[in-house]
Amino acid sequence: MEGSDVRTVGVSFDSVRVGLGRFPVKLIAWICAPFAWKVVRQHDGYTYSENALTGQRSCHWDGSTWGRIDYNFMRSGDISYGPFGRQVFD
């Protein structure tokens, strides 16, 4: 097939996009992040959660018992919601 161009067959390798096209992966992760929270465990009146996409951790006091936060689980920048309000860990 002399003189035939690949583009005449309907396949163009110049316009092939790799991945998700025009949508950046960070945008998709930002949209999906609020729905990616998973409960890791419950201990001493606190529920510990972790976001599967961002890796951020959180703990919420459920008000049933008085306990201490597991500081070994929490990392810098993580948020806890306890009886005295919101706390961001440094």
Average pLDDT, the chain: 80
Token couple for 31: 């949209």
pLDDT at position 54: 85
Establish if 16 belongs to a structural domain: no
Establish if 27 belongs to a structural domain: no
Q: Give phi and psi for 61, each to the nearest 5.
A: -80, 125
Establish if 79 belongs to a structural domain: yes
Establish if 61 belongs to a structural domain: yes
Establish if 87 belongs to a structural domain: yes
Establish if 2 belongs to a structural domain: no
pLDDT at position 48: 95
Token couple for 68: 């201490």
pLDDT at position 45: 92
Predicted confidence (pLDDT) at residue 55 exceeds the cutoff of 50: yes
Of residues 66 and 6, more confidently modeled: 66
Establish if 9 belongs to a structural domain: no
- Interval 1-39: pLDDT, tens: 555 554 444 444 555 555 555 667 778 778 888 888 999
Work out how many domains the chain is built from and give that number.
1
Structural domain harbouring 80: 37-90
Under a CB-based contact definition with an 8 Å cutoff, are residues 62 and 83 in contact?
no
Establish if 19 belongs to a structural domain: no
To which residue do tokens 């067959």 refer? 9
Q: Which of 63, 55, 58 is nearest to 86 (CA)?
A: 58
Predicted confidence (pLDDT) at residue 50 exceeds the cutoff of 70: yes
